[in-house]
Amino acid sequence: MYQLLKNSLYVFLGACCFGILSTVVKLAYRDGFQFEQVMLSQFGTGWLILLVLMLLFARRRVTWKQAVRLAGVGLCTCLTGVTYYLSLQSIPASIAVVLLFQFTWIGVIIEAIVYRRLPDKATVISIAILFLGTLMAGGILGTGELQLNLKGTLLALAAAVMMALFVFFSGRVETGMPAITRSFYTSSGGLVLLTVLFAPNVFTGNVQMDSGNGLWIYGLILGTFGVVLPVLLFALGAPKISTGLATILGAGELPVAVIASVMGLNEQVTAVQWMGVSLILLGIAYPQWAAQRSPGIQLAKD
């Protein structure tokens, strides 16, 4: 049980790191930086930090096949950010975050298909609690009629699928490799994709990557909490717990996002939203509590 709690904590803390990103990105936008600048600075800085860590602590020969497989995991986390932030251009943030957090049940479905077994009762109950909590914390309940843009909705759902795939593959791809090495090659995949997507705008001058105007500060924060720490923590914990539990623990991102928005942006949060945050934390804790009462529940990997 100790190992299960420790590995669960790794994944939960990794998700919490993702939670501060939306507030930092909003602050960067407020200072006049563009979407491409923020994304490139985040993955570029994160990649450099992981490169230094790997050279210092985890030098190991890696085959091209292993590197490509890990880079594929990085594509998932990179596409999560790209599709999610693009969705915010056409749908409200409250709707986008609720759609993004559908990755909790999508991850459970992926696990059920791959392992050919239905989720246990504790997982189903936890997902139901998380769904209600997300609706409340995202500010959906009580907003009246919703006007959804099809493109923005599909982009946010695509982000949910990419997030679920990132959690799934983090627990399956090259799990015997040192966490720092895995994280470096994972981040490399995301950086390569962003370079391909945004290079034309950089080279034509539409996007200026000048770190002297303060962009490096945002890059350092976003790179640390959006690339280095979450990828490392998921690499440490996800291979040792079930995919269903990992996706449930990933919901820890939303409470942190709400708290960060209050502290960093002075946004107003209603009592209903705080109740939603409490429900999400309850939904995250429920599988652990159920496992203690019923040892037969499968939360750790064999």
In sequence order, which ranges of the chain are alpha helices (DSSP H)? 2-19, 21-30, 35-57, 64-87, 93-100, 103-115, 121-137, 150-170, 179-203, 215-223, 229-237, 243-249, 253-265, 271-293
Which of 36-50, 184-198, 247-261 shows the lowest per-residue confidence on average (mean pLDDT)? 247-261
Q: Which of 128, 126, 127, 135 shows the shortest CA–CA distance to 97?
A: 135
Query: Could you give the C-alpha distances from 250 to 13, 145, 166, 182, 194, in angstroms and in order?
Result: 9, 29, 11, 19, 24
Burial class (CB in 10 A: 0-12, 13-18, 19+), 68: exposed
Domain ranges of the chain: 2-293
pLDDT-above-90 percentage for the chain: 16
What are 122-180's pLDDT values in tens digits? 888 888 888 888 888 777 665 555 566 788 889 989 999 998 998 888 888 888 888 89
CA separation for the pair 301, 174 (Å, rounded): 15
pLDDT band at 195 (very low <50, low <70, confident <90, very high): confident
Query: Could you give the C-alpha distances from 275 to 238, 278, 297, in angstroms and in order?
Result: 28, 5, 28
CA separation for the pair 128, 124 (Å, rounded): 6
Give this prediction's pTM.
0.81
Beta-bridge partners for 300: 241
* Sequence letter at residue 135: L
Which of 178-182, 184-188, 198-202, 281-285 shows the lowest per-residue confidence on average (mean pLDDT)? 198-202
Q: 3-state class of 300 per DSSP? A: strand
Q: 3-state class of 116 per DSSP? A: coil
